[in-house]
Structure 1
Amino acid sequence: MLAVVSGQRPVHSLLGLTVGPAYDQLVSLAPSGPLRRRLRPVLRHCGRFHPGPGVIEAFARIATGERVSAMAFRLEQGPDLRWRCAAVEIRGPRP
């Protein structure tokens, strides 16, 4: 996801790895997200929470130079036991 929202990979590369509105969220985030048009992003820290079986809510802190952004996403395990992104949100530093 980081490669997509930073413009390093096309959004359609995550087509089979998303469900529900997550793909549409990525389509809207990728061209104008806070991780575009800056230095190459570096993953600083990840964390997770398991609210129930088959669900992971995760976050990542991402640095681009001196700036730090946050990405939160929800992963859901499908009947085929594959994990897919169901929601994503990115918050960046305010100018």
Structure 2
Amino acid sequence: MTGRFRSRGAPGRPGRPLGGFPAPPGRAFRIRAGARGGGPRTTPAPCPRGTLRSPAPRPRPTDLFADLLLAVLSGQRPVHCMLRHTAGRAYDELAWLAEHGRLRTRGTRPVVRDIGYYVPRPGAIEAFARIGAGDRTRAMAFRLEQGPDLRWRCTAVELGGPRMPRAADDG
């Protein structure tokens, strides 16, 4: 897969909570009585002997990071929630972009419409996302690198699209 371009469209994109991960294979989340509506305690149905459950497909790191970055840049989540998911200057870039509200809109919540990525070498992904809010479309590019602990971290983030005029005090 090294050096190939991939793109994923919005229609086939499954809905999931921001930054949410599926349950580990063979396990399911339990809901306690009194939590979330007070319903009865539920557990998964047992598998018949001799059958195997197929593990839930793991979301791509590009999908997870696109959702996380969009939530921060649109003001839905605070910037500090990305501290453990960034490396190098990416956190500073993200803080600056979030502070200047480049993706904040009135009325229409921005959504990820499409994601594409390129793998320049193993352990690195350069990705782009098309962000839509109403009839406006913006571009977001970010780079992910896998560390020695096998966790993906964002090392760069940029926004494209119509530029807002900078104030005189921004430098």
> TM-score, normalization: structure 1?
0.94
1:32 Cα shift? 1.2
Q: Which has the larger radius of gyration?
A: 2
Structure 2 residue runs without a partner (length 5+): 1-68, 165-171
1:43 Cα shift? 0.8
Distance, in Å, in 2 between the alignment partners of 1:48 and 1:67 is: 22
- Relative to its length, the structure with more strand (as a share) is 1
Query: Is contact 1:75–1:84 with CA below 8 Å preserved after alignment?
Result: yes
> TM-score, normalization: structure 2?
0.53
Compute the RMSD of aligned alpha carbons: 1.2
* Cα deviations by residue, 1:15-45 (Å, 9 ceiling, x for unpaired): 0000000000011000214211332101100
Which of 90, 97, 110 is residue 29 of structure 1 equivalent to?
A: 97
1:6 aligned partner: 74
Structure 1 residue runs without a partner (length 5+): none
Query: Is contact 1:34–1:92 with CA below 8 Å preserved after alignment?
Result: no
Greater displacement, 58-67 / 31-40? 31-40
Q: Secondary structure at the match of 1:9?
A: coil
2:161 aligned partner: 92
The number of equivalent residue pairs is 95
Moved over 4 A (4+): none
